[in-house]
């Protein structure tokens, strides 16, 4: 399990370095990652869905972009869902705390719906990601961590 976590942490760092590059053709962004992706998929025996690792979904979603370094929309049209790092041109990063050991997902289930055409307006609605996870008001979470909250005691969030 620790090796998988290390491999996936390395993947996010590779994406950070790669996304800082100024690509001549943004369409090449995802095809260029196919080689390393295939190797890592074999090493981790994991599933890669819309640029997210199934076993590491919570960390896969924790990327952000620096507004000065990143265009909001990709040049050349649609590339990936907006919740994916691949949807942006330019630098994407993960906070350093993301790479510390011990992260545990509170995501209990998820569903990804493929693109669908609207029957009424002929427009395409993109992929949708639906998560089922424990949630709490942010102030309660921050107070819980200040008071030594144990994530294994999730009842504290729901009561």
Domain-wise residue ranges, the chain: 2-99, 107-153
* For the chain, percent of residues with pLDDT exceeding 70: 75
8 A C-beta contact, residue 57 and residue 9: no
Residue pLDDT, tens place only, 59-83: 899 898 876 655 555 556 677 888 8
Q: How far apart are alpha carbons 147 and 159 in whole angstroms?
A: 17
pTM value is 0.71
The runs of H, that is alpha helices, within the chain are 2-19, 29-32, 34-44, 57-60, 138-146, 155-158
- pLDDT per position as a tens digit, 88-104: 888 889 988 888 877 77
């Amino acid at each position: 399990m620790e090796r998988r976590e290390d491999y996936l942490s390395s993947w996010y760092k590779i994406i950070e370095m790669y996304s800082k590059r100024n690509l001549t053709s943004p369409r090449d962004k995802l095809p260029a990652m196919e080689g390393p992706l295939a190797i890592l998929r074999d090493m981790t025996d994991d599933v890669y869905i819309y640029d997210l690792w199934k076993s590491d979904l919570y960390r896969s979603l924790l990327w952000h972009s620096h507004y000065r370094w990143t265009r909001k929309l990709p040049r050349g049209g649609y590339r990936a869902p907006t919740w994916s790092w691949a949807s942006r041109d330019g630098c994407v990063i993960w906070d350093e705390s993301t790479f510390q050991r011990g992260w545990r997902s509170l995501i209990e289930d998820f569903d990804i719906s493929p693109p669908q055409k609207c029957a009424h307006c002929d427009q395409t609605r993109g992929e949708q990601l639906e998560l089922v996870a424990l949630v709490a008001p942010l102030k309660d979470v921050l107070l819980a961590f200040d008071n030594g909250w144990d994530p294994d005691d999730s009842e504290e969030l729901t009561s």
